[in-house]
Structure 1
């Protein structure tokens, strides 16, 4: 968890998460978030004038939480990539996480119509791609990863991960997650692992 978030903001973000879980994006209102907020409702309205502003902040908060979760500097680059795949494409998703991820997918669907969501999702994709590129670059420098086009490989991995996430959420029980995970891990092994000399 990020440490520089105020207790009030954290409480608001947790209430937003709970409301997304309960309502989904389509039925979500700022009142539904206020109902999940344990502190004064007026405090919520003081910080956010509408649902769009609150959800834009929630996306930034969720990104910071996720980036902290995958800050794996103590691990070797190849291990970091595998842990990142595990974090972004887990074997199983519980019902709560599934419902929240569906809500976030619906929110991503609003990007063509809402500038602030477009900005947030652009930032999310860029930061994730930069993180993957940084891991690959460290691997190339250490000799663990073969000399590849770092930006191209990062773009491919992130686009594949996002595609797997979307396909999984839109087909759920029918989606062959084991095959997708195996394909991602196989790509890392076959394309990125440096040949032993």
Structure 2
């Protein structure tokens, strides 16, 4: 077997394990999750999991990074898109997510937020979430700064605006997941448009 074939095979196997972890976490929750539960969610033998990961904690750390990569790597904006279009795309991605063939956006966010809750007692996972938060905020700040430099937006505190938008996104997702307020993302989107993004333009 060639090296390239081995690489593709390993990548595909890890993808299968990650998706099985999604399903297992959705059914059993973080606290009660066992490696056996993940093994039962895939056709491969449980030994394959132990070959790729050094136990449950290593697997969940990789899983967390996998979830984040799925979202960060799937924002699609045309190269010549104006700053407002790019802001809209990034905010919509965070609030409504990309399309998935199986296990939809809110199923994935439910798992994400459960891990987020437990991160308060886990320094390594907290660091992963913190870096993710910084990247979301940073991407918004960067687009706002580009809009200011190009003259499309008025001069504002881009860092503070990025902070506000990111916090609204997190609060809306948490309200939908924890309190069952299904209209929270749409309400947050309208509020961001009316009270935040529209303020980028001169009156």
What's the counterpart of residue 146 of structure 1? 154
What's the counterpart of residue 39 of structure 1? 44
Gaps of 5+ in 2: 1-7
What's the counterpart of residue 84 of structure 1? 90
What's the counterpart of residue 8 of structure 1? 13
Per-residue CA distance 1:136-161 (angstroms, 9 max, x = gap) = 12212222222222211111111111
What's the counterpart of residue 62 of structure 1? 67
Residue aligned with 2:32, SS = coil
Q: After superposition, where does 1:107-126 map in structure 2 within 5 Å? A: 107-126=115-134
| 2:17 corresponds to 1:27 | no
TM-score, normalised via structure 2 length: 0.81
Per-residue CA distance 1:94-136 (angstroms, 9 max, x = gap) = 9854343222212111112112211111111111111111221
What's the counterpart of residue 195 of structure 1? 202
Q: Distance in 2 between matches of 1:84 and 1:168?
A: 19
Q: Distance in 1 between matches of 2:85 and 2:123?
A: 36
Structure 1 stretch displaced more, 57-66 or 29-38: 29-38
**1:169–1:95: structure 2 CA closer, same or farther, 3 Å change rule?**
farther
Structure 1 stretch displaced more, 149-158 or 165-174: 165-174
What's the counterpart of residue 48 of structure 1? 53
TM-score, normalised via structure 1 length: 0.83
How far off its partner does 1:83 sit?
A: 1.9
Matched positions, count: 191
Q: What is the root-mean-square deviation of aligned Cα atoms in Å?
A: 2.7
Asked if 2 retains the 8 angstrom alpha-carbon contact of 1:70 and 1:84, the reply is yes
Q: Relative contact order (C-alpha < 8 Å, sep 6+): which is higher?
A: 1
**1:173–1:166: structure 2 CA closer, same or farther, 3 Å change rule?**
closer
**1:176–1:114: structure 2 CA closer, same or farther, 3 Å change rule?**
closer
Q: Distance in 2 between matches of 1:178 and 1:97?
A: 15
Q: Distance in 1 between matches of 2:103 and 2:145?
A: 36
Q: Distance in 2 between matches of 1:121 and 1:44?
A: 24
Gaps of 5+ in 1: none
